[in-house]
Amino acid sequence: MHASAPDLPLLTPAQRQASIGAALTGWNGHDDVWVFAYGSLIWNPGFSVAERRMARVSGHHRSLCLWSRVNRGTPANPGLVFGLDRGGSCRGCVLRVAAAEVPAIFAALWDREMMTGAYLPRWLRCLTPAGPVQALAFVIDRRGSGYAGALEEARLLAAIRGAHGRYGACVDYVLDTDRALRDHGIRDRQLERLARLLAPLAGAPADPV
């Protein structure tokens, strides 16, 4: 078990609904909204996307900085998933959600991304080829118990290689994200290096827990 990956309490349905309500405080209920995708939402958004644009945000970068005990790991064997951490910039995609579908899609997003409340839902200014948009992004909560920080490569690889959660193997999650970024013309050299080291394990069963 990873000593630096403490137990992560799950949010109740009422807490998740309250978080959605807070995120949508300024929404008028009629306009479409945008979601910034920087990890698995690029290759598996899980909802109908009305429009997709390439985008970049400043002040945050993509990082495997969140212990995953549900989606890509377990309490006994946590994996790592991406978060937007402070500093630098991040290229990804913005996904437009039709206004009529916002309540249902946000409920599904919170069930997927906010089970432990490890992210801070934030509206960020995203630069796109068609101009800037404000998009919802899941920014890592550095004060949360799930924050892994900047781990050494050996620790990153060990956590990724052995973990498996409700959405599958952590190694597949990392490799699928790397593939999606390259398919979109996005270079993330640190992730590309990890992917080269992890590629032989693609589709392999997780280690026993």
Element housing 103 (H / E): helix 102-113
Q: Are 84 and 35 in contact (CB under 8 A)?
A: no
CA-to-CA distance for 187 and 141, rounded, in angstroms? 25
Output the pLDDT for position 200: 80
Give the DSSP letter of residue 172: H
For 13-201, CATH gives 3.10.490.10
Sign of the alpha-carbon torsion through 146, 88, 43, 193: negative
Q: Please, what is the average pLDDT of the chain?
A: 91
* Ramachandran sector of residue 150 (left: φ over 0; alpha: ψ -120 to 50; beta: rest): beta
State which of 2-6, 7-11, 167-171 shows the largest mean pLDDT. 167-171
- Nearest CA to 108 out of 170, 43, 35 is that of 35
**What percent of the chain is predicted at pLDDT more than 90?**
84
Give the DSSP letter of residue 208: P
**What percent of the chain is predicted at pLDDT more than 70?**
92
Is the pTM higher than 0.85?
yes
Output the pLDDT for position 72: 95
Summarised one tens digit per residue, pLDDT across range 91-129 is 999 999 999 999 999 999 999 999 888 999 999 999 999
Give the residue extent of every domain in the chain.
13-201
Summarised one tens digit per residue, pLDDT across range 18-41 is 999 999 999 999 999 999 999 999
Sign of the alpha-carbon torsion through 119, 125, 127, 132: positive
Output the pLDDT for position 209: 32
Region 127-139 average pLDDT? 98
* Ramachandran sector of residue 196 (left: φ over 0; alpha: ψ -120 to 50; beta: rest): alpha
Structural tokens at position 184: 């979109």
Output the pLDDT for position 206: 39
CA-to-CA distance for 159 and 153, rounded, in angstroms? 10
Structural tokens at position 16: 């998740």
Residue 2 has pLDDT above 80, yes or no: no
Summarised one tens digit per residue, pLDDT across range 185-205 is 999 999 999 999 998 866 544
